Each structure stands twice: as structure tokens, then as C-alpha cells.
């Protein structure tokens, strides 16, 4: 049996954070993936808090119970399955009018037994893209996004088209599915033309995020804002605390500090990169955040966060332990022999 790493969040259970008046309830929930990549969802009883909505199975941590023990108990009680392998996926805080919760969500990708609604609740196995068709509690928006995003985010290096295609051919089918087309050497027109060719050539192999001052003109691509664009959109937002999301597709933003993270939240972006965690050759003058500060910043945001800057795939485990979605990088994932 494989047990997960000891996680770093040894904070006292159910301890209120941020000076909460209401006691924050620590809930462990599971995004369970089967060997076909489907995810299990369950319907909450009508009489329960957030009743009638779909959820990721789980429940409240009991006093003196470890997070993994709580996860295993809940999955046994609610679904009759034994979790074998799990790791943290996303950890969020949400305040309902009547309840404050910490939703500590784990990805379970190995389990034994056949899941069934052991408490009489309906359950469904669905493709990750189908999750958007179900109604979840308000707290679940970033969890659904985290469940749909991979653990790696590749950013392409500046190179000619032939080198780019050769590198993409090499990473195709090897666990890379999310890519930002960076290519800082290109002017907007040439960049758009390249984006067209790249998306045509690679079809459904990759989900692309494009850069630029205006939203992507290429269908089905996401938009990745740099921090200057993030600030500009935030300044333009129409009054109120929460602006309308400026783009209906997958929206990401590059963040380097708490202020930029709060702008990303205000604009309802889907995920962010946080950088630089360590020193990096591509931005030699930028002061690294370090792991401790990265962890502090992640704890404050209810968003999937990719850590970026001087990292390798081998940093993934540490990234998960501090609550990150995973690792982003140019050099981390680009074939070195390309």
C-alpha cells in the first residue's frame, strides 16, 4: 500500500483563519479518477447544507484525525472504497452566509473496490469536461477547474517554427496537455498566424493559451495575461468588488505578488502562474519568492496556482505539498535535445 507524503499543513484542525468569527470547518473532499480518467461526483441529500447540489465526496475532519485518515474514512463510509494513493489537489476557504469551510481537496487516483452510493446518494462517473454541466456549491468553482487542469503547464521557448514543431512533436503524448504559446520574438500579426498553424497542426493534442493585448482570435484557445495586461484590465473593470470575467474561455494570469493575485481573483481568472519561485536564467534580475512565501501566497487564494521559475518536474511533489496545482516552465518540460 502506498501512503502519501506527510503534508506540511500541520495547523491545528478547525482553527479559524483570518480572524473569522465563525468557526471554519475543515472538510476533506476527493476528486476520484478512475483508470479511464473519469471523475466521480455525488449528489448531496436535499436536507443537507448545500443540499441537492453535486459534490466531490468527503466530509468533516474528526478531532485528532490526520487528513489522509479522514479521506480514507469518508470514502469508505460514503462510497465503500479504499483509497490507496492520493495527493493534495487544492485547498480553499469559502464563507457561506451560514458556514465557513476549508475545503481540503485531494486527488485520488488509485483505490480498491467498486464505488456505490453507500448512503443512498446518487453517484456518477463523468469526463472532466462534463463537470461544467453539473451544479455544484459556490465553493466548488476552483475545484472543478483544478480537476480539469493537468499538473504541468508548458511555456514554449523563443525559437523558429521548425524547432517549435520538433519540440511539440516530442512532448506530444507524454503528459503535456496545457501549453502557453509564448514566442516573445514575434509581432502580433506573425504571432496570430503562427497560433493558427500550431492549433491546426496539433488539433486536440494540446489546450493552448495565447498571449496578447486583446483576447485570442483563434477558436478554442485560452488567454494568458501578463501582469501589465492583468493590471490594465483590472483598472478598466466596471466598478464593484468583483469585475466581470473579461473573456469567456480559459483565462490565466501571470502573478508575482499578493496584489496581482487579488487582481486575478477580482477578474475571475481560472488559474494563475506564480513566479519566480527560484532564480531563473530567463529573468535574472527578478528576486525569487522562495518556497515559504509561495506557500503563504497560495494559502490566501482560492485558485489553481502553477509555480514557475527555476523549477523542474521533480519539484512537483513539493508544489503539491504547498497547495499548488503543479509546476509551469519553459526549460522544465521542453526537450533538452531539441
Ligand X SMILES: Nc1nc2c([nH]c(=O)n2[C@H]2C[C@H](O)[C@@H](COP(=O)(O)OP(=O)(O)OP(=O)(O)O)O2)c(=O)[nH]1
- Note the residues at the interface with ligand X (CB under 6 A): 27, 29, 48-50, 55-60, 99, 101, 103, 137, 139-140
Give the x/- contact pattern for Mg ion in 98-127, rule: CB under 5 A: ------------------------------
Dihedral (C-alpha) 5, 8, 13, 16: value to the nearest 10 degrees?
-150
Q: Which residue number, 39 or 178, has a Cβ lying nearer to ligand X?
A: 39
**From the CB of 272, what's the least distance to ligand X, in Å?**
22
Stretches 51-59, 159-167, 207-215, 216-224: which one binds Mg ion (CB under 5 A)? 51-59
| DSSP states along 200-234 | HHHTTS-EEEE-SSS---STT-EEEE-HHHHHHHH
Q: Does 59 bind Mg ion (CB under 5 A)?
A: yes
Closest approach of Cβ 41 to ligand X, in Å? Answer: 8
Q: Which is nearer to Mg ion, 88 or 137 (CB)?
A: 137
Whichever of 80 and 212 has its CB closer to ligand X, that residue is 80
In the bound state with ligand X, the residue whose beta carbon lies nearer, of 27 and 209, is 27
| Cell of residue 284, nine digits | 535574472
The residue among 28 and 255 lying less far from Mg ion, judged by its C-beta, is: 28
Shortest gap between Cβ of 57 and ligand X (angstroms)? 6
| Minimum CB–partner distance for residue 49 and ligand X (Å) | 4
- Please report which residue ranges of the chain form alpha helices under DSSP H: 67-79, 141-148, 161-171, 188-202, 227-236, 258-266, 290-300, 316-321
Q: Which one, of 160, 199, 219, 181, lies nearest residue 338 by Cα?
A: 160
Q: Per DSSP, what are the bridge partners of residue 274?
A: 255, 307
Strand (E) or helix (H) holding 95: strand 82-96
**Cβ at position 20, least distance to ligand X in Å:** 15
Contact flag: residue 80 with Mg ion (CB under 5 A): no
Residue 192 neighbours by CB under 8 Å, 6+ apart: 212, 217, 218
Amino acid at each position: 500500500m502506498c501512503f502519501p507524503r506527510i503534508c506540511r499543513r500541520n495547523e491545528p484542525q478547525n482553527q479559524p483563519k483570518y480572524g473569522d468569527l465563525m468557526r471554519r470547518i475543515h472538510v476533506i473532499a476527493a476528486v476520484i479518477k478512475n483508470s479511464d480518467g473519469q471523475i466521480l461526483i455525488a449528489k448531496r441529500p436535499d436536507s443537507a447544507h448545500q443540499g441537492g447540489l453535486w459534490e466531490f465526496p468527503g466530509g468533516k475532519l474528526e478531532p485528532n484525525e490526520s487528513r489522509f485518515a479522514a479521506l480514507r474514512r469518508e470514502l469508505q463510509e460514503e462510497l465503500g472504497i479504499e483509497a490507496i494513493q492520493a495527493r493534495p489537489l487544492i485547498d480553499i476557504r469559502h464563507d457561506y452566509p451560514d458556514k465557513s469551510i476549508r475545503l481540503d481537496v485531494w486527488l485520488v487516483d488509485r483505490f480498491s473496490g467498486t464505488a456505490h452510493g453507500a448512503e443512498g446518494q446518487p453517484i456518477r462517473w463523468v469526463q472532466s469536461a462534463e463537470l461544467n454541466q453539473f451544479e455544484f456549491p459556490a465553493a466548488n468553482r476552483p475545484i472543478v477547474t483544478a480537476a480539469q487542469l493537468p499538473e504541468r503547464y508548458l511555456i514554449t521557448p523563443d525559437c523558429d517554427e521548425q524547432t517549435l514543431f520538433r519540440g511539440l512533436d516530442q512532448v506530444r503524448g507524454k503528459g503535456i496537455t496545457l501549453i502557453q504559446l509564448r514566442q516573445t520574438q514575434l509581432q502580433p500579426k506573425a504571432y496570430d498566424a503562427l497560433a493558427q498553424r500550431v492549433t491546426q497542426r496539433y488539433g486536440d493534442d494540446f489546450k493552448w493559451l495565447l498571449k496578447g493585448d486583446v483576447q485570442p482570435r483563434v477558436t478554442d484557445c485560452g488567454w494568458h495575461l501578463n501582469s501589465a495586461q492583468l493590471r490594465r484590465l483590472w483598472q478598466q473593470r466596471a466598478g464593484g468588488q468583483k469585475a466581470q470575467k473579461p473573456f469567456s474561455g480559459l483565462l490565466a494570469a501571470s502573478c508575482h505578488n499578493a496584489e496581482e493575485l487579488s487582481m486575478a481573483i477580482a477578474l475571475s481568472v481560472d488559474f494563475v502562474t506564480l513566479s519566480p519561485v527560484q532564480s531563473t536564467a530567463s529573468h535574472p534580475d527578478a528576486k525569487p519568492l522562495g518556497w515559504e512565501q509561495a506557500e503563504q501566497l497560495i494559502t490566501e487564494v482560492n485558485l489553481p496556482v502553477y509555480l514557475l521559475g527555476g523549477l523542474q518536474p521533480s519539484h512537483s511533489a513539493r508544489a503539491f505539498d504547498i497547495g499548488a496545482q503543479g509546476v509551469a516552465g519553459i526549460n522544465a518540460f521542453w526537450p533538452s535535445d531539441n
